[in-house]
Amino acid sequence: RKEVEQDPGPFNVPEGATVAFNCTYSNSASQSFFWYRQDCRKEPKLLMSVYSSGNEDGRFTAQLNRASQYISLLIRDSKLSDSATYLCVVTPKPFEYGNKLVFGAGTILRVKS
């Protein structure tokens, strides 16, 4: 079983739609959680960190459920520019014990006009 699993998609949605991605992780001791965004053939960039209490950044909302070991990302009012691959990322141990991020394989989002 992969450490971090995501539905690869693609999710094809019209502009203005609300779309949600889920991600599950296998290591219950995982410390920190993130969503990264990767445009085609480009480097990943941090979209947002995910906190236990849930957090929102504009049209993006991230949730963490430690009991069920899953993370979600909700995008409201989708824009064409949201088309990208969304990577779920987990750190399996405290930062000071190793600079390791474990990446999911990514979920492809395509927003159509």
Partner 1 sequence: EAQVTQNPRYLITVTGKKLTVTCSQNMNHEYMSWYRQDPGLGLRQIYYSMNVEVTDKGDVPEGYKVSRKEKRNFPLILESPSPNQTSLYFCASSSFQTSGSYEQYFGPGTRLTVT
Q: Which residues contact partner 1 (rule: CB under 8 A)?
A: 4, 8, 32, 41-46, 49, 87, 95-96, 98-106
Nearer to partner 1, 66 or 100 (CB): 100
Nearer to partner 1, 16 or 94 (CB): 94
Q: Are strands 84-91 and 102-103 parallel, antiparallel or unpaired?
A: antiparallel
Nearest distance, CB of residue 105 and partner 1, angstroms = 4
How many Å from the N-terminal Cα to the C-terminal Cα in the chain?
37
Nearest distance, CB of residue 110 and partner 1, angstroms = 17
Nearest distance, CB of residue 49 and partner 1, angstroms = 5
Beta strands (DSSP E) in the chain are 4-6, 11-14, 19-25, 32-38, 45-50, 55-57, 60-65, 70-75, 84-91, 102-103, 107-112
90 beta partners: 33, 102
Nearest distance, CB of residue 25 and partner 1, angstroms = 13
